């Protein structure tokens, strides 16, 4: 009798008990937010003042000014050229770097330096890499191209290597047993399993390069970014609006094309 009562007493405890760890974490988070907003010096007046300026900015940005469309077009063209060259070279190189970084296919003396190199390519933001290239190879498209090649390798090769490490090795074993050489082995047991993912990464990076190519120009590496930056500095906000609209249009076009390519190569 006593045991039945105590077990039902246990059941009357609230099954949705407060997890104090989680609650604590939320409280810390809230405290952090409040503290930071204060530290940032964000007072209500400053915010409203900022909104006023934003309003003014919007007014000056519209209607967008396309009168200097030749400048716009040449900047756009340069950005596209940078993106295309960097993507093709970057994708091609990533195929090899990714393969050499796969620990289930290659011995350690190959994978370790390759993975290190890829990690190095990923660590720094493309803008920083762009600055370094600008300082060493000069202003212009070359710096932009080299920057985006590095960025492409950092992204595609890493994900490609991870995709290869996830494949079923049974298929590889079977092809090895037929006496196939190394290249045939890769082509028939590895690539069928990972190629469509590789295309996915490649098209994503093409898209990303298109975005970044418009931005590396801010530090002098060629493309529309330079035009944008000087427009900002001259307070030509309506031209800025025109440039931003072109950038968005270009990127949307890139996304559409990427989807088409992905469907064709699936």
Residue 167, helix vs strand vs coil: coil
Q: Cα(161)–Cα(96) distance, rounded to whole angstroms?
A: 10
Q: Cα(265)–Cα(203) distance, rounded to whole angstroms?
A: 11
Piece in contact with other proteins (CB under 8 A), picked from 3-11, 102-110, 158-166, 221-229: 221-229
Asked if 136 is part of the footprint of other proteins (rule: CB under 8 A), the reply reads yes
Residue 199 contacts by C-beta under 8 Å, 6 or more apart in sequence?
A: 261, 262, 265, 266
Query: Which residue in 87, 93, 143 sits closest to 114, CA to CA?
Result: 93
95 vs 127, which CB is nearer to other proteins? 127
Asked if 230 is part of the footprint of other proteins (rule: CB under 8 A), the reply reads no
Asked if 187 is part of the footprint of other proteins (rule: CB under 8 A), the reply reads yes
The binding track of 96-125 with respect to other proteins, each residue x by CB under 8 A or -, is: ---------------------------xxx
Asked if 218 is part of the footprint of other proteins (rule: CB under 8 A), the reply reads yes
Asked if 252 is part of the footprint of other proteins (rule: CB under 8 A), the reply reads yes
CB of 103 to other proteins, least distance (A): 17
Binding residue for other proteins (CB under 8 A) from 24, 28, 46, 67? 46
Binding residue for other proteins (CB under 8 A) from 75, 76, 78, 99? 78
Q: Cα(201)–Cα(163) distance, rounded to whole angstroms?
A: 10
- Token pair listed for 204: 């994503």
Range 140-169, binding other proteins (CB under 8 A): 140-142, 145-146, 168
56 vs 67, which CB is nearer to other proteins? 56
Binding residue for other proteins (CB under 8 A) from 15, 63, 107, 179? 179
Asked if 264 is part of the footprint of other proteins (rule: CB under 8 A), the reply reads yes
Residue 196 contacts by C-beta under 8 Å, 6 or more apart in sequence?
A: 265, 266
Asked if 182 is part of the footprint of other proteins (rule: CB under 8 A), the reply reads yes
Binding residue for other proteins (CB under 8 A) from 23, 67, 104, 178? 178
Asked if 192 is part of the footprint of other proteins (rule: CB under 8 A), the reply reads yes
- Length of the chain counted residue by residue: 266
SS3 content of the chain, % helix, strand, coil (to 5): 80, 0, 20
Asked if 84 is part of the footprint of other proteins (rule: CB under 8 A), the reply reads yes
Query: Which residue in 238, 218, 221 sits closest to 230, CA to CA?
Result: 218
- Token pair listed for 191: 């690539």
DSSP state at residue 106: S
């Amino acid at each position: 009798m006593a045991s039945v009562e105590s077990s039902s007493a246990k059941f009357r405890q609230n099954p949705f008990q407060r997890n104090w760890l989680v609650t604590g974490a939320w409280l810390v988070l809230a405290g952090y937010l409040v503290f930071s907003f204060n530290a940032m010096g964000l007072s209500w007046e400053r915010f409203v003042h900022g909104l006023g300026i934003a309003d003014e900015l919007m007014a000056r940005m519209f209607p967008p000014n396309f009168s200097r469309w030749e400048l716009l077009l040449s900047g756009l063209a340069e950005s596209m050229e940078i993106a295309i060259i960097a993507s093709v070279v970057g994708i091609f190189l990533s195929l090899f770097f990714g393969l050499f970084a796969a620990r289930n296919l290659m011995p350690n003396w190959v994978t370790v330096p390759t993975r290190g190199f890829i990690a190095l390519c990923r660590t720094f933001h493309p803008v920083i890499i762009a600055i370094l290239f600008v300082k060493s190879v000069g202003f212009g498209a070359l710096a932009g191209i080299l920057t985006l090649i590095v960025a492409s390798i950092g992204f595609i090769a890493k994900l490609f290597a991870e995709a290869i490490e996830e494949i079923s090795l049974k298929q590889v074993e079977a092809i090895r047993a037929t006496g196939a050489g190394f290249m045939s082995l890769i082509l028939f047991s590895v690539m069928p399993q990972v190629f469509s993912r590789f295309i996915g990464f490649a098209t994503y990076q093409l898209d990303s390069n298109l975005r970044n190519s418009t931005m590396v120009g801010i530090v002098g590496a060629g493309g529309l970014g330079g035009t944008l930056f000087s427009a900002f500095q001259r307070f030509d906000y309506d031209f800025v609006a025109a440039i931003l609209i072109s950038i968005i249009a270009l990127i949307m076009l890139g996304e559409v094309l990427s989807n088409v390519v992905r469907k064709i190569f699936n």
